[in-house]
Amino acid sequence: MHRLGRYTIPMHSLEGELAILGRHDGLWRVWRSQMSFVIAAPEFLTAAAMDLASIGSTVSAASAAASAPTVAILAAGADEVSIAVAALFGMHGQAYQALSVQASAFHQQFVQALTAGAYSYASAEAAAVTPLQQLVDVINAPFRSALGRPLIGNGANGKPGTGQDGGAGGLLYGSGGNGGSGLAGSGQKGGNGGAAGLFGNGGAGGAGASNQAGNGGAGGNGGAGGLIWGTAGTGGNGGFTTFLDAAGGAGGARR
């Protein structure tokens, strides 16, 4: 950072600019400069490193196979011209092999650097997630205790085969959990999807259970979408029945 005057205060904006507030010639001024954001996907870096390593192995094998016929070239005849031509081509072959060794070493270093970079990004992401999740848990704790739902975060999904309702999403931000399906063969109703808060989507309703001795279970209703933004969850499918005098379950509603 360039120090402008006696006081400088860096300020970052969401538009990708670095604004520097500084005092210069007795006046407070703001200097702006563009910033570049870096986005890295460790899994893609690792995959690219593996592909490059495979390419390097192929090139090295081809260079090794070409070494004998290009370096030790036999003269076409016993005359001086043939010997000189063979020696010239042999020198070119040796030069290529020397360059190939250097290129192979550079390629290996590049692959190692790419692999190390992917590991560094993955480690940094893992290190950043833990304290952030701890902070979110601290914020959500009083809301879960008082209201049974978080301030920020998605609701839990209902367990399959239980007909359990999906948990409500965060009051401020978060989607509702999906309802659990009914217990197979029991005709149990599917669980309702959890509702979102201000921002988020409603959870999908769980599927109704099948029934061989009665009506199929009704599908669970979809959870309500966010009050400000979000869509309602889809209703679950009704369960089927094989009993002649019974009906399949009704599908859940989208609220």
Poorest-confidence range of 69-73, 98-102, 177-181, 220-224? 69-73
Residues in the chain: 255
Question: Band of the pLDDT at 196, cuts 50, 70, 90?
Answer: very high
**Residue 79, helix vs strand vs coil:** coil
- Which helix or strand (DSSP H or E) is residue 128 part of? helix 80-147
Say yes or no to pLDDT of 78 above 90. no
Say yes or no to pLDDT of 114 above 90. no
Token pair recorded at residue 33: 């400069």
Quick one: pLDDT at residue 156?
94
Q: Average pLDDT in the 191-202 region?
A: 94
Choose between 24 and 41: higher pLDDT: 41
Quick one: pLDDT at residue 62?
83
CB 4 within 8 A of CB 20: yes
How many angstroms from the chain centroid is the CA of residue 31? 35
What residue segments make up the domains of the chain, in order of their start?
59-145, 149-255
Q: What per-residue string of b and e applies to 52-67 under the rule 16 or more CB within 10 Å gives b?
A: bbeebeeebeebeeee
Quick one: pLDDT at residue 242?
74
What predicted TM-score, i.e. pTM, was given to this entire model?
A: 0.50
